Amino acid sequence: GESVGLHLPTLSVQEGDNSIINCAYSNSASDYFIWYKQESGKGPQFIIDIRSNMDKRQGQRVTVLLNKTVKHLSLQIAATQPGDSAVYFCAEKYSSASKIIFGSGTRLSIRP
Amino acid sequence: DTEVTQTPKHLVMGMTNKKSLKCEQHMGHRAMYWYKQKAKKPPELMFVYSYEKLSINESVPSRFSPECPNSSLLNLHLHALQPEDSALYLCASSPGGGPYTQYFGPGTRLTVL
């Protein structure tokens, strides 16, 4: 399944399938991007980041893709597991700034 | 060690009470942050400390008073709060203000009666 931007707040995926969470960021000057996972009752947990001089970065079961032309960021989770259930936030940063700007979040739910 | 700790985990207070939230990190990070998060919303930045000095205050009401006693500790003093201040309060730290991620603590769930 695939969410089309953060105006679709919930993504439901079959266990074992791949998940794709999309994010449209706002500032063309942003040069650093982060994905966070937030489980219920916990603080946001860093998943993966990418700098603007890259268009793809891979971690363990996760891949982040960056398309600066259309200001689009995506998080791909391979072989989605029940433990992946959470709200996922993208965040952008202009590197010399102290602030990061969070997107509105996408809830990922896993169907057994 | 990429851990940010926060105490207490839960706090219930009346509108006339004074309480404090505490945050600690031992990663040698020089920037620390307070965020407020309401249900189903992203975290909202409140304050940023850089090298123990307040560098950003996002127009937060004066009933919230931050303090950075040293490079590892961050406090948030609370006084005369309103019920709408009930939220999850998150602390975060990062190595500095450059292209670094922020590491978050588990948060303090605050309820104002």
Distance of alpha carbon B89 from alpha carbon B38, whole angstroms = 9
Distance of alpha carbon A43 from alpha carbon A95, whole angstroms = 23
Q: In this structure, are residues B31 and B49 in contact, taking their beta carbons and an 8 Å threshold? A: yes
Distance of alpha carbon B104 from alpha carbon B100, whole angstroms = 13
Choose among A51, A89, A98: nearest Cβ to B42: A89
Distance of alpha carbon B61 from alpha carbon A1, whole angstroms = 42
Query: Scanning the structure block, which residue is given the tokens 């985990």?
Result: B9
Task: Specify the pLDDT at position A94.
Answer: 83
Per-residue pLDDT tens digits for B19-71: 999 999 999 999 999 999 998 899 999 999 999 999 999 999 999 999 999 99
Query: Scanning the structure block, which residue is given the tokens 């992946």?
Result: A84
DSSP A53: T
Per-residue pLDDT tens digits for A86-107: 999 999 988 677 788 999 899 9
**C-alpha pair distances (Å), A108 with each of A17, A86, B6, B31:** 12, 6, 27, 31
Interface subset of B 8-27, CB within 8 angstroms of A: none
Interface subset of B 60-89, CB within 8 angstroms of A: none
Per-residue pLDDT tens digits for B12-22: 999 999 999 99
Distance of alpha carbon A45 from alpha carbon B74, whole angstroms = 20
3-state DSSP call for residue A84?
Answer: helix
Contact between chains at B99 and A104 (C-beta distance less than 8 A): no
Per-residue pLDDT tens digits for A49-90: 999 999 999 999 999 999 999 999 999 999 999 999 999 999
**Four-CA torsion B65, A90, B98, B92, nearest 10 degrees:** 30
Contact between chains at B42 and A105 (C-beta distance less than 8 A): yes
pLDDT category at A5 given cuts 50, 70, 90 is very low
Q: Which of A73, A75, A105, A100 is nearest to A89 (CA)?
A: A105
Touching check for B93 and chain A: CB below 8 Å? no
Q: What DSSP line would sit under B55-113, residue for residue?
A: EEE-S--TTEEEEEEETTEEEEEEES--GGG-EEEEEEEESSSSS-PPEE---EEEEE-
Choose among A51, A103, A104: nearest Cβ to B99: A51
Task: Specify the pLDDT at position A9.
Answer: 82
Task: Specify the pLDDT at position B98.
Answer: 72
Question: Using DSSP, how many helices (H) and how many strands (E) does chain A show?
Answer: 0, 10
